[in-house]
Amino acid sequence: MVTLIGRAGIWLVLLLIAILAVAAAADTGFAIHMGIVAAACLIGLYFTLTKANYAALARGGANLPDQSRYDDDPIRWGVIATVFWGMAGFTAGLFIALQLAFPVLNLGLEWTTFGRLRPLHTSAVIFAFGGNALIATSFYVVQRTCRARLAFPGLARFVFWGYQLFIVLAATGYLLGITQGKEYAEPEWYVDLWLTIVWVAYLAVFVGTLVKRTEPHIYVANWFYLSFILTVAMLHLVNNVNLPVSIVGARSYPLWAGVQGALVQWWYGHNAVGFFLTAGFLAMMYYFVPKQAERPIYSYRLSIIHFWALIFLYIWAGPHHLHYTALPDWAQTLGMVFSVMLWMPSWGGMINGLMTLNGAWDKVRTDPIMRMFVISLAFYGMSTFEGPMMSVKSVNSLSHYTDWTIGHVHSGALGWNGMITFACVYYLTPRLWGRSRMYSLRMINWHFWLATVGIVFYAASMWVAGITQGLMWREYGADGYLVNSFAETVAALHPMFLLRAFGGLLYLSGAVILTVNVWKTIAGSPLREEAPLRDAPYDAEKDRPLAAGGAAPAYAAAAE
């Protein structure tokens, strides 16, 4: 009872502080955000008081969790949140792609302009869709590989719901124009502080579960998850050292300025890709690919070499984002050299994942979930070759500031991060809700092909657009002046913008199929009756040499 009163008291105090912050807010955006925080506190207070087991409290005790079962509730919520935020992020992405082709879709409203919707899209896909997938899968994997329940179940639930509050505050802030203007680090100072609290709780849950493990060995996936959690915390803290203008206002100024600020930002930005979108998702690969293939990882020794080489090299590669800027030339070259070196451990991880299918390659033909894992690894390999190549100064002089970079980012994000997340959702859903399999395997197959073709349209159109931009921007006439105006380069890209939007539409269509499939599986709908995925028909009687004087088979006659 004392614990219940304490929790309710905390919610009540936070609610009062949020209400006071609304009243004292220096600007409208901060007032709206504190109103959202107040609503979250009110919801927390309501559920604390209504969901408590008063009968158990009256007996002087509480319902203890079943220690013979894993704590999967936060994972179930995470799977649902991953699907929900994925749909939101993909829809926003398609809309802003259409805005670039048809500017009238900006609608003349400040809240619907490309400049405000673009960070909404990137954060929704990276931090909402990808972040929820990482939290959910890490809680699933660490329990199974440690053979222990989550260390702090209450804190695990705080991590999930606290992270959702961070997403809502960040997203509404972008629409309201509340932003630092930093790539992948747009939320303002008070949202950053909240994320820091949530992230420390996440680290405590994960490390606590590792400490209480019953398995003596720490499986390699947990090393990747731990490096992702620790490094993202370090990046977040250093890059977001800001001085707020007012303690009740939404505006702040960064401590780092000028070229130092640019270097810190892209040290953060590139390693957000390296540890949030690479190391964390490699952790997924090292657990779920062997499980789906029903094969051990190809080389455990290679996985350890891959881990240490990757985390050492990635942290130095950020300056390649600042070629031909005020950053000292030696720092630019350092970033380029480490980026090129990074190609080797990256492909070590791809090879380790693909070679795990030795003896199980038939699953690529018959198992659509395995097919998604394989295509994600293929895109990972392609992106981690293209990235080092684009960091070379001579290539970067053509590619930088063009849509080639957009194509590169999306081939990795949609192909590597998206596909492996979809595959993990398909793996987890029937297991978490006690179903024999997904509602429809054929729908997974449709999702695979729609997403794959969509990525091809998207990436290929942006590669062409980027090279076109780079060549048009550097074309000089005989008089020494630029041949093409900026408006002419934009007009030349219009067909490519349409193809990109078409690719995004295909990718979103696949996500709609995912949503229906997951919904039907969770709801326990009867499994869809469908023909199994199989090979072409085979007739053994016709598989024989033609006897002398015999009639020619139909296919032979047709060939003649």
Are the C-beta atoms of 348 and 422 separated by less than 8 Å?
Answer: no
Assess whether pLDDT exceeds 70 at residue 132. yes
Residues 278, 170: Cα–Cα separation, whole Å: 23
Q: Is the pLDDT of residue 556 over 60?
A: no
Query: Could you tell me the CA-to-CA distances from 344 to 204, 318, 340 in Å, in that order?
Result: 33, 17, 8
Determine contact, residues 356/289, Cβ cutoff 8 Å.
yes
Q: What's the pLDDT score for residue 108?
A: 85
Element (H, E) at 242: strand 242-244
Q: CA torsion angle for 89, 95, 98, 103 (degrees, to 10)?
A: -130
For residue 455, pLDDT over 50 is answered with yes
Q: Tell me the per-residue pLDDT of 79-97, one tens digit each, with 9 for 90 and over.
A: 999 999 999 999 999 999 9
Q: Specify the pLDDT at position 63.
A: 64
- If you average pLDDT over residues 85-114, what whole number do you get? 95
Cα atoms in the Cβ-side hemisphere of radius 13 Å centred on 68: 0
Percent of the chain clearing pLDDT 70 (strictly above): 94
pLDDT tens digits, residue range 328-373? 999 999 999 999 999 999 999 999 999 999 988 988 988 999 999 9
pLDDT bracket for residue 541 (50, 70, 90): confident
Tokens encoding 545: 């040499």
- Mean of pLDDT values over 11-29: 93
pLDDT at residue 559 in the model: 44
Tell me: pLDDT of 546 over 90: no
Polymer length of the chain = 560
pLDDT in tens, 511-534: 999 999 999 999 999 888 887 776
What's the chain's average pLDDT? 92
Rg (CA), the chain: 26
pLDDT at position 552 is 53
The amino acid occupying position 292 is: Q
% of the chain exceeding 90 in pLDDT: 84
Give the residue with greater pLDDT, 120 vs 554: 120
Give the residue-averaged pLDDT of 384-411.
95
Within 10 Å of residue 29's Cβ, how many Cβ atoms? 20
In terms of pTM, does the model score above 0.85? yes
261 pLDDT above the threshold of 60: yes
Residue-level pLDDT at 547: 66
User: Which pLDDT score is estimated for 543?
Assistant: 73
Helix (H) or strand (E) holding 189: helix 189-211
* Residue 551 banded pLDDT, cuts 50, 70, 90: low
CA distances from 548 to 184, 211, 544, 555, 557 (A): 73, 76, 13, 17, 15
pLDDT 10s digits, 412-428? 999 999 999 999 999 99
Give the separation between CA 95 and CA 82, rounded to whole angstroms.
20
